[in-house]
Amino acid sequence: MRTLFATTAIALLVSAGPLQAFEPSRPECIAPAQPGGGFDLTCRIAAEALIEGGHITRPMQVSFMPGGIGAIAYNAMNTTRAEDENAIVAFSGGSLLNLALGKFGKFDQDDARWVGSVGTDYGAVVVRADAPWASLAELSEAIKKDPKKIVIGAGGTVGSQDWMKAALLVKSVGVDPRQMRYVAFEGGGESSTNLLGGHIQVYTGDISEQQANLEAGLVRVLAVMAPERLPAPFDQIKTAKEEGLDLEWEIIRGYYMGPKVSDEAYRWWVETFEKMHQEPNFAQVRTDKGLFEFSLAGDELDAYVKRQVGEYRELAKEMGLVK
């Protein structure tokens, strides 16, 4: 009996081992910006979903590491925190664009372990509710006729994600982006304020941030830069492709880790995100934060990131931003 008991106990310990092999002791999500923006939002989603789903037993700390539009955090994760198994860092499509533009110094897309995505947003072409254009086709004709008469504004200077959306809009109607009148603002809030105030005529923003303005009847979204129509409350808005323009722009949000974290820790994080992607509470958190489904983790996310950075680099060359 003692032999049987001992054998059973050993078997139970061996089988239980892998389940308890790793759990972050001090889970942390780093937002590479000041509090209150999209990176903060991305970290809050992870913190909420991980604890509610029972994946971590200790609350996740959200910390901030602003500087260089993500460059400071990327450098830190490649130097002093390259082996940190507790920390994930929020990234977005804008981060991938900055990697393509070489804004993270000597580090590139191969210098991170890409963990999982949390969702995505999509670009949108937004005008005031009383604008003279009822459709994207009408706006396109106006841009082609005289691009200097249309003032486009968005958050970020030349080469930023919002500038890219504006440049792609102009380019897709056959106009050189260098001919467009573009006004740069600090972010989406300031851009929307200036659109409503009549200081700009077109805002190439993100669709999720327009829900309140749409419900108030203040703006008209001429098109979303999505591959297909979005779910309610945006299901009545046409895609740019429906309006005849081959124009897509997704703003993925997700997380990466330092390049030297152990395989064991990396697998735990990846498998945890894979589980979360299947959970109703995670889907609800994502929806509540204004994001749409985009669920990749591990190798699939790694492949997506590297493909996207390559596409952004080619696009940047077309726009004359890099050689």
Is residue 289 within 8 A of residue 265, CB to CB? The reply is no
Mean pLDDT value across residues 119-140? 96
CB atoms within 10 A of CB 179: 11
**How far is Cα 160 from Cα 70, in angstroms, rounded to an integer?**
13
Instruction: Kindly report, residue by residue over 141-190, the tens digit of the pLDDT.
Output: 999 999 999 999 988 888 888 899 999 999 999 999 989 999 998 778 88
Confidence (pLDDT) at 13: 41
Instruction: Kindly report, residue by residue over 15-38, the tens digit of the pLDDT.
Output: 444 444 788 999 999 999 888 878
- Model confidence band, residue 318 (pLDDT cutoffs 50, 70, 90): confident
Instruction: Kindly report, residue by residue over 58-103, the tens digit of the pLDDT.
Output: 999 999 999 887 899 999 999 999 999 999 999 999 999 999 999 9
Mean pLDDT value across residues 197-220? 93
The pTM (predicted TM-score) of the whole model is: 0.84
Confidence (pLDDT) at 124: 95
The architecture that CATH gives domain 27-120+251-318 is: 3-Layer(aba) Sandwich (3.40)
**How far is Cα 211 from Cα 127, in angstroms, rounded to an integer?**
13
**How far is Cα 83 from Cα 258, in angstroms, rounded to an integer?**
6
Domain spans of the chain, in order of start: 27-120+251-318, 122-249
Confidence (pLDDT) at 4: 43
27-120+251-318 matches 122-249 in fold = yes
Instruction: Please list, in sequence order, all residues whose beta carbon lies within 8 angstroms of the beta carbon of residue 222, skipping any fewer than 6 positions away.
Output: 125, 126, 127, 133, 135, 136, 139, 238, 243
Average pLDDT value for the chain: 90
Task: Kindly state which CATH superfamily the domain 122-249 is placed in.
Answer: Periplasmic binding protein-like II (3.40.190.10)
